[in-house]
Amino acid sequence: MKLFFIGVGEACDSTHGNSSVLVTTRCGRKILLDCGFSVPRYYFRYFPEGDDLDYVWISHFHGDHFLGLPLLFLRLWQMGRTRPLTIVGQEGVEDKVVQALELAFPGFGGKISFPLEFHIVTPGYTSTIGGIDWTTTLTRHSQRNLGLLLDDGEKTMYYSGDGQATNQVQDLVRGCDCIVHESFSLVDTFAYHGSIGSSMELADRAGVAKLLLIHLDRDVRENDKDEIDTLVRRRPGTLLPVAGHSIEF
């Protein structure tokens, strides 16, 4: 499994972009995890011929996680895409995406050149889509957010979207190969956001060595750089990726 970080920042991060990860599975399926405001521009900067997306996962309906979709669709249409694109998410995802597309580009939905297909997942259950197991659970966030465990038959990875981890999250990620977790602050400061400290605790309790920290508050990333570096160095297997960073495991 290969992860490419399109962006690693929070909603207003003008340097690191909105958090989004391109996953390539062992069978070559490509999954874009979240598509916020800045994501299409970054995505096509790194992948100018990036018409090979198979799925887009939407963790929740905050703008920095899904309002880049209309621009993504427009660019794919300009590239002449005809094969379907599947959007995977929680109940309501189809209505939200259709509304966003109509607001961004009125009438465009009626002439888009490729079918948009929607697959709805339910927290606590596993859906097999394209030969990949997608298992989700609720996190603790101000908007209903689903954490996602992907299993391609060889490797497993967990992507948090936003929010603090719950006991259900800990059970889900136990023994997986990699965790990519929202870590807004150094320690838990906000009721509906994770932190570097709690992400490390989650990975340790779940027995997961590889941990990637994303969605840091832009001021924390800048002002607490030395402390962050120290924390990351103390835990082998922990990384603070930047946009354009890729790992394979």
**Domains of the chain, earliest start first:** 2-248 (3.60.15.10)
> Could you give the count of Cα atoms lying within 13 Å of 6 in the half-sphere of its Cβ?
27
Tokens encoding 147: 């954490």
Distance CA 190, CA 235 (A): 23
Residues of the chain below pLDDT 70: none
| Confidence (pLDDT) at 78 | 96
| Confidence (pLDDT) at 125 | 97
Distance CA 155, CA 228 (A): 28
| Confidence (pLDDT) at 88 | 98
DSSP H helical segments within the chain, as ranges?
39-46, 63-66, 69-78, 93-104, 167-173, 196-206, 218-223, 225-234
| Confidence (pLDDT) at 95 | 98
Residue pair 137/56 in contact (Cβ under 8 Å)? The answer is no
Task: Walk across the sheet containing 2-7 and list its strands.
Answer: 116-120, 85-89, 55-58, 30-33, 20-24, 2-7, 246-248
Tokens encoding 178: 């990699």
Q: Mind telling me the catalytic residues?
A: 64
| Confidence (pLDDT) at 164 | 97
Read off the pTM.
Answer: 0.97
Residue for token pair 């103390």 = 234
| Confidence (pLDDT) at 211 | 98
Q: What are phi and psi of 191, to 5 degrees?
A: -65, -25
DSSP H helical segments within 62-149, as ranges?
63-66, 69-78, 93-104
| Confidence (pLDDT) at 230 | 96
Distance CA 38, CA 224 (A): 24
| Confidence (pLDDT) at 218 | 97
